Structure 1
Amino acid sequence: MSEIIGFAGMSHSPFATLLPPARDGEPGGRFLADSTKVGAAVTELRPDAVVVIGPDHFHANFYDQMPPFVLGVEEATGFGDFGSTAGPVPVASGLGWAIRDGLAESGFDVSLSYALTVDHGVVQSYEMATGGAGIPLVPLVLNTAAPPLPSLARCVALGEALGQAIRHAPDPGRVLVVASGGLSHWLPSNDPRDPSVVGERRSSLIHGRQDARAFAAVREPRVRAMAGNPDAPVNADWDRWFLRQLYTRDLGPIVELGHDKLEEEAGSGGHEIRTWLVGHAAAGLPLVWDSYEPVPEWITGMAIGATFPVPA
């Protein structure tokens, strides 16, 4: 049987690689320094595998066919968007299949990928949490881009089933659960039903799979142009409230927000906190440490939370 040795939730941002601080005290510096501390703490935990729960930013999944949950079971490849690592990522295939079987027994028929493309939404937090050590991972990708999204309650239920599946995996191993996403940030709509999403942009959201590289080449300059604005909206009060809730095992107050209230408080990008709900529920452990820095220049409230001690 496998053992869950801890959970770490981490924000991600393209600008962590594109707009890193040049010196101490600049935006993002605290987040990057504390992510290094988490990586050191994870090294001490000695995980054999990492289950990484993260979103896709229209590099692998599009609205020609948008699954709520996709599990990678054999191969994974980093897309390399926004300066993130490109190329093969090691996959813990045996654990992946055990998770698949356990989720199915719990009533979750997740989509499977034998060759999953993962973007910075998985790769960045995976590398930060593990120090880039090449520990085999099982990637679980959630649709957090636009409705229809899995409900908050469904994400908690998935997390509980995921934790059970990991603990019942036949091979003994030490498993770290990592969630990647959030916290508050406001993004342009990616909903094909939105009347403001028209023309080539709408077509790319639906048909981008036909040439994902070409779609990314058009989209990335628009995202890059959002960087560096010290007045970009970030709801630091809400972000800190969210972190406080994770110091208990009761996710009810977050689930009770529902889709609309979550978006009102944390923005369209705030839907990525679904990954944290899955990971926190899987571990079944409260946070014991967190770090938070609002970084409007990165358009995001950058947070880290861990269920294990992190050295000062």
Structure 2
Amino acid sequence: MTEIIGFVGMSHSPFATLLPPGAEGEPGTHFLADARLVATAVSELRPDAVVVIGPDHFHANFYDQMPPFVLGVEEAVGFGDFGSTAGPLPVASRLGWAIRDGLDDAGFDVSLSYALTVDHGVVQSYEMSTGGLEVPMVPLVLNTAAPPLPSLARCVALGEALGTAIRRAPDAGRVLIVASGGLSHWLPSNDPRDPSVVGDRRASLIHGREDARAFAAVREPRVRAMAGNPDAPVNADWDRWFLRQLHTLDLDPIVALGHDKLEEEAGSGGHEVRTWLVGHAAAGLPLVWDSYEPVPEWITGMGIGTTFPVPA
């Protein structure tokens, strides 16, 4: 028997590990405290497996081959970028294969990986929401950073198919769905068609697979330099609207935004909320609890939402 026991949507940021609050009341304090509360609530749910939906930030996927969706079924390894956990992660392989087959039956030809590299976009929220690395995972990576992206409607459809596939999986037990990404944040363009993306940077987006470590070593200092700015753009009003919408089962108002309006409201990094749409549609449950802290110093609106109560 397999049961979906809940959904957690959680923002991630490199600076949650690189620039944590040093004292009560500093930026990020509220988010990290509530993330710990979520981990406690998840431990009480006793999941047997976690399906983690998150993006890649050009650590595994590049424009030489850029799949919209990649499913890991055997091995998953944390890249270890920005202080995130590196090394092998436990994988619920049998559930992964059942998901692959179920998505195929639903008409989703997701790319398949026997050895998937995942970066902080998967690892951070997986670790924070479960309180560690003990619960076996099935990683599903969405392309949210490399235009053209899968449409919002396609992500909802994927989520619905994912939910069906999980529920039909044989004897996977109690499955938690975790989505990692967003909320609003503005990042430099990663589109090779953009006239501002030129030279070595453009080449690395296309050919970075040849030496992903070297590419990351060049990129990380640029990202780190964005931290600590209290005036970095964050759209808290939109973020709160998005969370309120997920307290219902009606995703149409979000889908109706389309790519361009979503980017206008939530920034290029806001496209990561596609992971939330997939997870929310898969669970088929409304949020009952949420938490939000705008943290411009982390360049991100940091939100959490769950379909189960989170006691204070």
TM-score range, shorter chain: over 0.9
In the alignment, which residue of structure 2 is the partner of 1:244?
244
2:81 aligned with 1:81, yes or no?
yes
Mapped to 1, the partners of 2:172 and 2:216 lie a distance apart of 40
- Normalising by structure 2, we get a TM-score of 1.00
SS of 1:269's partner is helix
SS of 1:72's partner is strand
Mapped to 1, the partners of 2:26 and 2:147 lie a distance apart of 35
The change in CA–CA distance for 1:3 and 1:26 in structure 2 (over 3 A counts) is: same
- Superposition map of 1:175-194 within 5 A: 175-194=175-194
Gaps of 5+ in 1: none
Deviation at 1:147, TM superposition (A): 1.3
Mapped to 1, the partners of 2:174 and 2:146 lie a distance apart of 34
Deviation at 1:171, TM superposition (A): 1.5
AA matched with 1:302 = M
In the alignment, which residue of structure 2 is the partner of 1:90?
90
Q: Where in structure 1 do 4 or more consecutive aligned residues deviate above 2 Å?
A: none
Deviation at 1:172, TM superposition (A): 4.0
| CA deviation map 1:154-178 (0-9, x unaligned) | 0000000000000000124000000
| CA deviation map 1:240-287 (0-9, x unaligned) | 000000000010000000000000000000000000000000000000
Mapped to 2, the partners of 1:12 and 1:162 lie a distance apart of 22
Gaps of 5+ in 2: none
In the alignment, which residue of structure 1 is the partner of 2:161?
161
- Superposition map of 1:186-225 within 5 A: 186-225=186-225
Mapped to 1, the partners of 2:146 and 2:255 lie a distance apart of 18
In the alignment, which residue of structure 2 is the partner of 1:102?
102
Deviation at 1:144, TM superposition (A): 0.3
Mapped to 2, the partners of 1:133 and 1:122 lie a distance apart of 12
| CA deviation map 1:158-210 (0-9, x unaligned) | 00000000000012400000000000000000001000000000000000000
Preserved contact between residue 78 and residue 86 of structure 2 (Cα < 8 Å): yes
Deviation at 1:89, TM superposition (A): 0.2
Number of residue pairs the alignment of both structures matches? 312
In the alignment, which residue of structure 2 is the partner of 1:135?
135
In the alignment, which residue of structure 2 is the partner of 1:170?
170
AA matched with 2:116 = L
Mapped to 2, the partners of 1:32 and 1:21 lie a distance apart of 9
Deviation at 1:134, TM superposition (A): 1.2
SS of 1:214's partner is helix
2:258 aligned with 1:258, yes or no?
yes
Between the two proteins, what is the percent identity of the paired residues? 88
Deviation at 1:146, TM superposition (A): 2.5
- Superposition map of 1:5-84 within 5 A: 5-84=5-84
Mapped to 2, the partners of 1:126 and 1:146 lie a distance apart of 22
AA matched with 2:250 = D
Pairwise CA RMSD: 0.5
In the alignment, which residue of structure 1 is the partner of 2:232?
232
